[in-house]
Amino acid sequence: MARDLGELNREEYARYKDDVKKDGKGFFPFAMWHDTVMSFVVVCLIAALAAIWYFDADGVEPGLLGPWYTEPADPGTTDFIPRPDWYFYFLFYLLRIFEWPETVFIATVGIPTICLILLLGLPFYDRRRERRPTHRPVAMVAAVLTILSMAVLTWKGATAKEALGSELLLLVPSWAQEQGFADDPQAVAGAELFAQTGCLNCHIYLGQGSGSLGAPDLSEVGQTNDTEYFVRYLANPAAFGNNVMGSYSYLGQDNLEALGAFLEASKGGE
């Protein structure tokens, strides 16, 4: 006759209490002393690293552990691609797989939350006492699949290629030809600015770029508005109810007019 689970649990609990009485050590002073020594070691290590960092470097001159500070960030730079730290590459790549806006929420909040809930619930739905890996096929397969998919996503995220502004610049002649503004130097200059100022991080233009954060495809935007409108729009998107796009007034009036001419010339091509 199999004994019921409650009886087994009571027996186990009694044995555990017994063990504690025989071989256990009190929290005070043993465990506390342990923790105190360990914490002290960690604090000393941090202090030592801080001292090495501080005394070995001098301003922007790096020492063993890097400089005190670096050059101020340049918000106008175009040859920098923002990327997460490597341990977020898998999430970063999930974002590239899912399309804005319908499924991005599922990817960034939904899937991680479901995984966390499954993990938190594990002690409640897997109550068998069996712990040998060979006797837990479901758990093992799930674990292997999780590790595998994270590894693949991390790898894909690490090797994902993103076009730099300078690479997108090579597309300008084909844009000019397709949209027919090749002999309008102002529009061409605007197209070059467009390629270099990160517009394609949000917008799509003739199949290039990423439609993220709800930004519209701009390939045919010139059908609805003109240069004068675009200049006002780019100088202050917030005034048009667009709080996602930052102001581009720092580019200066001439550049804004070039961008405007380029956008006006963008009527979708043949």
Which chain residues interact with ligand HEC by CB under 6 A?
194, 197-199, 201-203, 213-216, 218, 221, 230, 233-234, 241-242, 244-245, 248, 259, 263
Q: Cα(156)–Cα(135) distance, rounded to whole angstroms?
A: 33
Residues in contact with 220: Cβ distance below 8 Å, sequence separation at least 6, in sequence order: 266, 267, 268
Decide whether 153 or 259 has the Cβ nearer to ligand HEC: 259
Residue closer to ligand HEC (CB basis): 153 or 202: 202
For residues 168 and 188, the answer to whether their CB atoms sit within 8 Å is no
Distances in Å between the Cα of 212 and the Cα atoms of 64, 110, 130, 134, 201 are: 40, 18, 47, 45, 7
Nearest distance, CB of residue 138 and ligand HEC, angstroms: 43
Q: Residue 104: enclosing H or E segment and its boundaries?
A: helix 104-105
Cβ closer to ligand HEC: 153 or 165? 165
- Going by the DSSP 8-state scheme, the letter that residue 106 receives in this structure is I
Q: How far is the CB of 242 from ligand HEC (least distance, A)?
A: 4
Helix (H) and strand (E) counts in the chain: 11, 2
* Closest CB 134 distance from ligand HEC, rounded Å: 51
Closest CB to ligand HEC among residues 157, 198: 198
Shorter beta-carbon distance to ligand HEC: residue 90 or 203: 203
CA–CA dist 204, 225 (Å, integer): 17
Distance of closest approach, residue 79 Cβ to ligand HEC, in angstroms? 15
Q: Report the alpha-carbon distance of residue 150 to residue 154 in Å, rounded.
A: 6
Closest-CA residue to 169 (of 191, 146, 147): 191
Q: Which residue has the tokens 């998107």?
A: 237
Helices 137-159/89-97 angle, 10° precision: 80
Identity of the residue, 166 or 242, whose beta carbon is nearer to ligand HEC in the bound complex = 242
Instruction: Report in angstroms how near the CB of residue 93 gets to ligand HEC at its nearest.
Output: 20
We find the least distance from the C-beta atom of residue 193 to ligand HEC, in angstroms, to be: 7
